[in-house]
Amino acid sequence: MKRSVTLLACSASVLSVSLDRVPASWPVNVAAADSLLDRTEPLLAASAYHACVPNPPYITPKDPAVRDQVRAAYPQVAVGKYSLALPFTALMLEHLAAPGGFVAQLTANSFMKREFGKRYITEFLPRFD
């Protein structure tokens, strides 16, 4: 519930109106899913969003099973001891953003300093404008 109120409060702020002036007809949809691996959650449907603004975790997966699942799902970016920020980028750019959509991701620069970022920089990112 707290997230729903936050989403509505942000909407009110963007519209420069009080919270009670946000149209009641606007639905608030919140998913509780593993966004990198769950393909059954309707809110994570392909090409569903014209704008994606993620703030992914800047850590490496600790659980070896999860690490391998993410690596299998995102082989183009989940290389070596990868940061979860890279698979999240792939999720947004290749799956969630509609054609012509926008992605503005908050991310760490760790991929620029480590081996796992080499393919991400040289092969993955150049595919996008």
What string of DSSP letters covers 43-108?
A: GG-TT-EEEE------S---SHHHHHHHHHH-TTT--SS--THHHHHHIIIIIIEEEEEEE-----
69-84 mean pLDDT: 94
pLDDT at residue number 1? 45
Averaged over 46-68, what is the pLDDT?
A: 92
Work out the pLDDT band at 76, boundaries 50, 70, 90.
Answer: very high
The larger pLDDT score, comparing residue 85 to residue 107, is at 85
> In this model, does residue 74 exceed pLDDT 50?
yes
pTM here? 0.77
Mean pLDDT of 110-127: 88
Q: Say how far apart CA 81 and CA 91 lie, in whole Å.
A: 18
Predicted confidence band of residue 4 (pLDDT cuts 50, 70, 90): low
> What tokens were used for 4?
């729903």
Q: Give the pLDDT confidence score for residue 68 in this predicted structure.
A: 97
Q: How far apart are CA 124 and CA 64, in angstroms?
A: 24
